[in-house]
């Protein structure tokens, strides 16, 4: 089954990407990514740039509304996600616990809708 | 004197006298903006382009006003920035690039950017500064910094913000452009109107930052009126047929033309209908009229054209001894229909008072306040009410209204004026 | 540049759709995916199952906690995403505006870290 391992990061986590902790930060995710690949379960995902780079779009009455910033002003923001293909939820949870973001932020695990389509 | 016509509008010659030093500074800033726009357009990294050009720009600002402005200012700047550009290219060098290739690349860049027909990418830069993904409050400062090369300190002073805070916001905004990938592209047709409106609003806001210090007495707080007019001219130069851009420039020129009359010799506030028209800058008014006429030819009315037309109707006093109150009433009516702004309606009420008498004006103003409670927080509403009550002999109501106006005003000269009026009721 | 289009919407809205409306929505998404693919912009895209299926892990004081449910209980939740490759933010915004989710929800557009 396919799951999204969704990483929520604090402002400090985002800062760690760029300051003196950056090597640790990126090495951590690099190692995790390597582990997912080695286990043969990685199917996709992406790291997102920090929330200040976000722009939010709505279409209302046919008109485009564009606003600077992420969709909600919450303390922990989406930092990225990994897509994995594993046996079941427990297996997905086991991998989520190993994700670097778990120690400081939070990891949400959610199954993907799998459609039989081309 | 520099060879370039700095105030060219459709080829019209320069009209307003600038000292040689000031004119040279203009050339430096224009060339800087052009070069910055070209450099930054490639990488979307405005801050890096600023870094590369900073020393060269500083040298130009220091040397040109004291001597000859070079025939090809962009070439001069590029040559002065070359070492830094090469160093930056070396730092980003890929494994396969040789030193020779890097130098060749810079030479090609130089030829491209300094040719006489080099494209002017400042329009795309202005659209980027006013992009919806850029926080509202920083759009005007950003435009002033990247298009005209003004420092964060200068801009901060005009907006009454701490320089460090302004500096930080500018850094963040430039990071957003780079990190979010905001391109220097001209918007697609479906988005053009809204995006252009954002650019116009940002330029108008720059003018507003210069409004409260018309004498320019404090050099730090001189405001940004001239710079706003300048930005409007840059924009018009890029989008010559855009009626709203022309409208904005016409509006700003009308407002600028009356600057010398807004304070008397003792620094006291002078209301519009008491200003000495002899102090209005005639040439500037005529230029504003020419531009507004060109705008109306497009038959695409808009907010800034209406605002300019209103100022034009006020300026009629210079030629006919009286403002065109009929036109002003109609135009404010059209403006309030277009924008839904209660302020426009209030101004219509003031014009109705001039055209039909204080009773009609007061009735209109009171009716407005009943429907738009927000006006009760607005100084000009109370000032109008006070003036009309005074004219109708309602002294107590007039004084009370002046008091309400005074507590809502922050400009010392205007407060002094209102107090004098209150005491003479 | 690569951008993520994060589709936020109210899950309850889906429950209120009739079968015909639901099928029309799905059709709209398929057409959108095809348009992206045809333009050479589509890299990936997925729909997430409802937040009721979520579990959230966090670690505090060295202890790991697992909670049933999504990370945040917000009105609008993440329903899916598209990963696209385009030239600039404006191109990404144009695609976001065309996404069916933009009509009733919000699309957050964020650039992807490329390392």
Q: Render pLDDT for B318-354 as a digit per residue (tens, 0 to 9).
A: 989 899 999 999 999 999 999 988 899 999 999 999 9
How far is residue B23's CA from residue B69's CA, in Å, rounded to a whole number? Answer: 9
Strand partners, C78: C8
The pLDDT, as a whole number, for residue A90 is 86
How long is chain A? 118
- Nearest-Cα residue of chain C relative to residue B188: C90
What is the number of CB-based contacts under 8 A between chain B and chain C?
27
* Residues β-bridged to residue A60: A63
Of A74, A83, A110, the CB nearest to C54: A110
Tell me the average pLDDT across C6-17: 88
pLDDT the model gives residue B11: 34
CA distance C49 to chain A (A): 5
Tell me the Ramachandran region of residue C45: left when phi exceeds 0, alpha when psi lies from -120 to 50, beta otherwise: beta
Mean pLDDT of B123-136: 94
Q: CB-based contact (8 Å) between C111 and chain B? A: yes
Confidence of residue B211 (pLDDT cuts 50, 70, 90): low
- Coil, helix or strand for B376? helix
Arithmetic mean of pLDDT, C31-48: 95
pLDDT of B221 over the 60 cut: no
End-to-end Cα spacing for chain A: 18
Correct CATH for A2-111 of 3.40.50.300, 3.40.50.10470, 3.30.70.1060, 3.20.20.140: 3.30.70.1060
Average pLDDT across chain B, whole number: 89
Residue B64 CB contacts under 8 Å (≥ 6 apart), including other chains? B24, B25, B27, B28, B70, B73
pTM of the model: 0.85
Contacts of C70 in chain A (CB under 8 A): 108, 110
List of residues 6+ apart from B153 with CB closer than 8 A: B163, B166
- Assess whether pLDDT exceeds 80 at residue B95: no
pLDDT of B10 > 70? The answer is: no
At B6 the pLDDT is 29
Task: Using pLDDT thresholds of 50, 70 and 90, give the confidence band for residue B1.
Answer: very low
- Residue B241 pLDDT greater than 90, yes or no: no
Can you state the angle between helices B225-238 and B189-208, rounded to 10 degrees? 160
CB B308 within 8 A of CB B251: yes
Domain coordinates in residue numbering, chain B: 1-119
Taking an 8 Å cut-off on Cβ atoms, the answer to whether A109 and C54 are in contact is: yes
Is it the case that residue B9 has pLDDT exceeding 80? Answer: no
Quick one: pLDDT at residue C46?
94
Instruction: Report yes or no: C39 at the B interface, CB cutoff 8 Å.
Output: no
Structure tokens belonging to residue B413? 């000269």
- pLDDT at position B266 is 83
What is the pLDDT, as a whole number, of residue B222? 57
Output the DSSP codes for A5-17.
EEEEE-HHHHHHT
Residue with tokens 């910055």: B36
pLDDT at B218: 56
Instruction: Give the pLDDT score at A117.
Output: 42
B182 close to B231: Cβ distance less than 8 angstroms: no
Q: CA-to-CA distance for A65 and A13, rounded, in angstroms?
A: 30
User: In chain C, whose CA is at the least distance from the CA of B41?
Assistant: C88
B134 pLDDT tier (thresholds 50, 70, 90) = very high
C94 touches chain B (CB under 8 A): yes
pLDDT average, residue stretch B92-118: 86
**A58-107 pLDDT tens trace:** 999 888 999 998 988 888 899 999 999 999 888 999 999 899 988 888 99
Q: Could you tell me if B372 and B391 are in contact, meaning their C-beta atoms sit under 8 angstroms apart?
A: no
Distance of alpha carbon B323 from alpha carbon B254, whole angstroms: 14
Which of B134-143, B388-397, C14-23, C85-94 has the weakest average pLDDT?
C14-23
Query: Which residues of chain A have a CB within 8 Å of the CB of C9?
Result: none
Q: What is the mean pLDDT of chain A?
A: 91
Q: Which residues of A touch B (CB under 8 A)?
A: 49-50, 52-55, 64, 66-68
A53·B176 Cβ contact <8 A = yes
Determine contact: C92 vs chain B, CB below 8 A. yes
Question: How many Å from the N-terminal Cα to the C-terminal Cα in chain C?
Answer: 12
Could you tell me if A113 and C47 are in contact, meaning their C-beta atoms sit under 8 angstroms apart? yes
For B34-79, the pLDDT digits (tens) are: 999 999 998 899 999 999 999 999 999 999 988 889 999 999 999 9
Q: How many other C-beta atoms lie within 10 A of the C-beta of residue A96? A: 27
* Chain B residues with beta carbon closer than 8 angstroms to that of A67: 132
Do A82 and A108 form a contact (C-beta atoms < 8 A)?
no
**A93: which chain C residues are within 8 Å (Cβ-Cβ)?**
55, 57, 66
SS3 A33: helix
**ipTM above threshold 0.90:** no
Judged by DSSP in three states, A45 sits in strand
Tally the residues of chain B.
425
Instruction: Count other C-beta atoms under 10 Å from residue B297's C-beta.
Output: 11
């Amino acid at each position: 089954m396919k799951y999204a391992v969704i990483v929520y990061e604090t402002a400090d986590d985002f800062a760690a990407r760029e300051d003196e902790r950056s090597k640790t930060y990126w090495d951590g995710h690099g190692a995790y990514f390597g582990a997912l690949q080695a286990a043969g379960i990685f199917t996709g995902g992406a790291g997102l740039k920090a929330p200040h780079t976000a722009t939010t779009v709505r279409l209302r009455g046919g008109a485009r509304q564009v606003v600077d910033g992420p969709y909600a002003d919450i303390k922990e923001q989406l930092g990225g996600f990994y897509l994995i293909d594993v046996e079941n939820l427990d297996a997905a949870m086991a991998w989520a616990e190993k994700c670097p973001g778990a120690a400081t932020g939070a990891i949400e695990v959610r199954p993907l809708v799998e459609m039989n389509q081309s | 004197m520099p060879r370039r016509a700095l105030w060219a509008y459709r080829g019209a010659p320069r009209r307003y006298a600038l000292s040689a030093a000031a004119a040279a500074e203009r050339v430096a800033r224009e060339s800087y903006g052009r070069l910055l726009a070209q450099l930054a357009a490639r990488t979307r990294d405005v801050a890096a382009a600023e870094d590369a050009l900073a020393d060269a720009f500083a040298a130009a600002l220091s040397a040109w006003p004291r001597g000859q402005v070079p025939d090809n200012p962009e070439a001069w700047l590029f040559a002065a920035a070359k070492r830094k550009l090469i160093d930056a290219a070396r730092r980003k060098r890929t494994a396969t690039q040789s030193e020779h290739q890097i130098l060749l690349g810079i030479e090609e860049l130089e030829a491209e950017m300094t040719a006489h027909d080099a494209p002017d990418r400042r329009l795309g830069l202005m659209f980027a500064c006013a992009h919806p993904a850029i926080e509202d409050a920083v759009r005007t400062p950003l435009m002033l910094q990247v298009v005209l090369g003004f420092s964060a300190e200068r801009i901060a002073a005009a907006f009454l913000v701490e320089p460090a805070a302004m500096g930080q916001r500018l850094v963040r905004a430039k990071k957003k452009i780079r990190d979010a990938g905001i391109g220097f592209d001209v918007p697609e047709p479906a988005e053009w109107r809204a995006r252009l409106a954002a650019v116009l609003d940002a330029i108008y806001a720059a003018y507003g930052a210069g409004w409260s210090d018309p004498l320019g007495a404090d050099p730090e707080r001189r405001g940004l009126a001239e710079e706003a007019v300048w930005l409007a001219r840059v924009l018009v130069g890029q989008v010559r047929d855009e009626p709203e851009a022309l409208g904005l420039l016409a509006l700003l020129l009308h407002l600028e033309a009356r600057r010398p009359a807004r304070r008397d010799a003792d620094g006291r506030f002078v209301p519009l209908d008491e200003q000495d028209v002899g102090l209005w800058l005639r040439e500037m008014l005529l230029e504003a009229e020419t531009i507004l006429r060109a705008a109306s030819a497009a038959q695409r009315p808009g907010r800034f054209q209406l605002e300019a037309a209103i100022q034009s109707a006020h300026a009629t006093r210079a030629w006919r001894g009286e403002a065109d109150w009929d036109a002003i009433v109609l135009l404010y009516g059209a403006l309030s229909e277009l924008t839904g702004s209660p302020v426009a309606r209030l101004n219509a009420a003031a014009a109705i008072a001039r055209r039909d008498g204080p009773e009609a004006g007061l009735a209109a103003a009171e009716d407005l306040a009943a429907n738009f409670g927000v006006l009760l927080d607005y100084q000009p509403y109370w000032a109008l009410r006070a003036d009309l009550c005074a004219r109708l002999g309602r002294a107590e109501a007039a004084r009370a209204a002046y008091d309400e106006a005074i507590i809502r005003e922050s400009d010392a000269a205007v407060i002094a004026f209102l107090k004098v009026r209150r005491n003479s009721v | 540049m690569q951008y993520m289009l994060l589709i936020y919407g109210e899950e309850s809205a889906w429950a209120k759709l009739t079968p015909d409306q639901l099928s029309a929505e799905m059709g709209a998404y398929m057409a959108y995916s095809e348009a992206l693919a045809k333009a050479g912009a589509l890299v990936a895209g997925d729909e997430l199952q409802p937040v009721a299926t979520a579990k959230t892990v966090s670690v505090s004081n060295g202890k790991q906690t697992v909670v049933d449910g999504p990370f945040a209980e917000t009105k609008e939740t993440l329903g899916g995403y598209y990963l696209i490759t385009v030239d600039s933010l404006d191109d990404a915004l144009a695609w976001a505006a065309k996404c069916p989710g933009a009509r009733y929800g919000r699309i957050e557009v964020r650039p992807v870290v490329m390392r």
